[in-house]
Structure 1
């Protein structure tokens, strides 16, 4: 069953249960309300009759006078003498008089609902002479009259419930349709993602939590497209990076085997083969490291790292390259700055970024560590704007880059450590890499 049908059935069932309970409660209460109202009306009629009797006949009025007057009123009533326990007048058949007498209703002034056979009556008792408590006027109304009103009211109520239920179900259908339609469209968009038709993915109009889901689906599609594109680029670049040294090695090896080279060229060829093998080894090792860093199984042993100690280790490792390229490497460190990360891996990331800056710098590289940031800047040509969004992808490198994996490794290490890395333009004229970590306390 579709979600929309499930929601409509659930809403309709709940509505019917609520209406059934409400109808039962109202049906049960309405008879009590009608009895109370009828008793009040009987009391008002009785008081009016008693007032007329008192004014017209006062103390000289006899029973016959009362009887003649009361019989003219077309009411169901009794004239009862409490002192004699006798019904003096009745406008109802004698069978009711006998039935009420047998149940002692006349003598019991607390019983307000009388029953005789299968009939029930609502009653009200009024003293004819307030100063003489022996003569009472008892008015009655059949309960069936009230039940007819009750049933008529309930029928009207059922009609209202039916109309309200139909309107509520139609409204429910409209609302659930509005709710489910974006989900149905999202399903179609997910099918496109499943078939890798990323260019055909369209935005879906929605609100609330469904809008958040839609945004997540769209972001997922964008990320999957970027990932697949980067994977294709990775395999293309990897094959190119691996193919070039292999072809060099193959060419020199075949030349040496076939005796094409003289002794001097053979030695040069062997040296070139060793260099290319070393390059291949470096690329493969970095690819393996990057795969481990991207894997969930990669182990990160976080510890508190002092920025001053970390920067000193980077300077020691960068000294040979600095001397070779004639670059000035300066640093500024806030000794209160502390990071929480895997020291060995973070050192590897910072070394990669620093070496990259040294290779692209003209004359100056700076390392700044303050608060929870490490900033590496150079005065080189900078990173082309079209290359900047992809600079941390695998095998993306500049003119003087080596394997194109150093910055990808650095990003993986920083992100696995809970930090972030960004690149921008430096005030020195070249590139500016900024590594940011959260406060150590917030990571514990």
Structure 2
């Protein structure tokens, strides 16, 4: 059934539900109808008896030439008076002696004033009521009956019409199922084609979303959101590749030009040592760029496929160690450190590299002081690393963590991107803001 078209599946569901309901009605309805009509017939007999009993029992209730039960009007209530011994006082119709003996036994043995009875005679059934009545010196009985022929005919007719109705409903159930197929499968088919185009990297046309607020509309909105993110990611990737090409091209071009010049006996820096020093510096720059690019790739891999490398370590120790190694780049700077023990679980090596990039950035722009504060507040733990250097503009702060975004004295434009990727990998919220006096820049890490 999994390989069937959606329309056939929906029709099968409709048909199965209708068939189950039909089988239930076929099994339950006949007995329910019989019980209902039988009760109504008894009520009709009792109402007719009450009319007779209230008017007295004088007068004949049966004519001698009454028709046989096969020719009687089955809707008519007929009455026969029974004497105090339970024997009929008038004509007995075509009822057998055995039937009257049974009626006599029931009349004499009943304890209540009125009792309901039923009996099958040959291929027919009869419903009757026996009521006690006072007529003369001795108590008598009123025997009232109706043949069930009308009831059976009515139940049979209703049953037949119900079967016809069920058959018609089953035949025409394809109409609502066809509407349901168009309502459900049409937008799904459109989205399937659009997703296939997106899979082929043809994601520049927007996904047609509808105003419907059901799950199909939500799915369309999710696909459109995915498409927009893929477009942005593709644009970022193209921009990233262009920046990489530009950043790698410059040192390679310098190395090749200096190498060719030395081979021709020309020394651009005056002598061979000076020229080789430039080549070595450019090679070092190239090495740093390649290392950062490889490290960013590693962070992306860890974020997508987090492995079992996470360990428990004290972040304060990592920061202290990093500060001690880098502070000698500018020994004139003063350091304010508040680093209580803070144990986290994650990738210790990644945090050490992130802190190296961030603290190196702080040292580069600080004028006289760098502050590193780790403290608790109502929202959790906050790490704040700041300096008293120049402030940052709003436009620059929005792009600060993008690849190859460099400040005035920046080097490669990848350090803060590595910091951001590390924070995202550990689900830590990172932010950047200017200092309270309008000077300096502060990076914050919020650990929840």
Into which bin does the TM-score normalised by the smaller protein fall? 0.7 to 0.9
2:328 aligned partner? 320
**Contact 2:315/2:344 (<8 A) preserved:** yes
Aligned-residue offset at 1:311: 3.4
3-state SS in 2 of match to 1:89: coil
2:439 aligned partner? 429
In the alignment of these two chains, the number of paired residues is: 422
3-state SS in 1 of match to 2:105: coil
1:107 aligned partner? 105
Please state if 1:405 is matched with 2:414. yes
Instruction: State the alpha-carbon separation in 1 of the partners of residues 99 and 346 from structure 2.
Output: 96
CA 1:162–1:230 in 2, change beyond 3 Å: closer, same or farther? Answer: same
2:35 aligned partner? 32
CA 1:401–1:136 in 2, change beyond 3 Å: closer, same or farther? Answer: same
CA 1:40–1:75 in 2, change beyond 3 Å: closer, same or farther? Answer: closer
271-280 or 134-143, which deviates more: 134-143
Q: 2:405 aligns with which of 396, 416, 427?
A: 396
After TM superposition, list the pairs within 5 Å mapping 1:231-270 onto structure 2: 231-261=237-267, 264-270=270-276
Greater helix percent: which structure?
Answer: 1
Please state if 1:223 is matched with 2:229. yes
3-state SS in 1 of match to 2:403: coil
Aligned-residue offset at 1:241: 1.7
**Contact 1:306/1:335 (<8 A) preserved:** no
2:204 aligned partner? 199
Instruction: State the alpha-carbon separation in 1 of the partners of residues 33 and 324 from structure 2.
Output: 94
Q: 1:14 aligns with which of 12, 17, 26?
A: 17
**Contact 2:310/2:345 (<8 A) preserved:** no
Instruction: State the alpha-carbon separation in 2 of the partners of residues 37 and 331 from structure 1.
Output: 98
Aligned-residue offset at 1:106: 4.6
Aligned-residue offset at 1:390: 4.0
Instruction: State the alpha-carbon separation in 2 of the partners of residues 183 and 329 from structure 1.
Output: 64
Instruction: State the alpha-carbon separation in 1 of the partners of residues 230 and 128 from structure 2.
Output: 83
After TM superposition, list the pairs within 5 Å mapping 1:62-141 onto structure 2: 75-81=77-83, 83=85, 86-90=87-91, 92=93, 94=94, 96-98=95-97, 100-101=99-100, 104-108=102-106, 112-129=117-134, 135-141=140-146
1:62 aligned partner? none
CA 1:162–1:237 in 2, change beyond 3 Å: closer, same or farther? Answer: same
3-state SS in 2 of match to 1:279: helix
CA 1:167–1:131 in 2, change beyond 3 Å: closer, same or farther? Answer: farther
1:54-113 C-alpha deviation (Å, 9 max, x unpaired):
4x48xxxxxxx6656997x97534444463x64443464x2x3357358x3553458822
Gaps of 5+ in 2: 67-72, 111-115
3-state SS in 2 of match to 1:137: strand
CA 1:388–1:154 in 2, change beyond 3 Å: closer, same or farther? Answer: farther
Aligned-residue offset at 1:194: 2.5
1:231-285 C-alpha deviation (Å, 9 max, x unpaired):
2222222222222111111112222222123895211111112222222222222
Instruction: State the alpha-carbon separation in 1 of the partners of residues 276 and 137 from structure 2.
Output: 141
2:314 aligned partner? 305
1:312-351 C-alpha deviation (Å, 9 max, x unpaired):
223212212233xx5x353352626554433332122122
Instruction: State the alpha-carbon separation in 1 of the partners of residues 394 and 208 from structure 2.
Output: 28
Instruction: State the alpha-carbon separation in 2 of the partners of residues 345 and 88 from structure 1.
Output: 113
**Contact 1:77/1:91 (<8 A) preserved:** no
TM-score, length basis structure 1: 0.79
2:353 aligned partner? 348
Aligned-residue offset at 1:22: 3.7
Aligned-residue offset at 1:220: 2.0
**Superposition RMSD on alpha carbons, in Å?**
3.8
CA 1:375–1:167 in 2, change beyond 3 Å: closer, same or farther? Answer: farther
Instruction: State the alpha-carbon separation in 2 of the partners of residues 190 and 299 from structure 1.
Output: 34
Aligned-residue offset at 1:354: 1.8
2:372 aligned partner? 367
Aligned-residue offset at 1:400: 2.3
2:69 aligned partner? none
Q: 2:385 aligns with which of 376, 386, 389?
A: 376
3-state SS in 2 of match to 1:112: strand
Aligned-residue offset at 1:174: 5.7
Please state if 1:290 is matched with 2:300. no
Aligned-residue offset at 1:29: 0.4
178-187 or 412-421, which deviates more: 178-187
313-322 or 18-27, which deviates more: 18-27
CA 1:429–1:2 in 2, change beyond 3 Å: closer, same or farther? Answer: farther
CA 1:9–1:431 in 2, change beyond 3 Å: closer, same or farther? Answer: farther
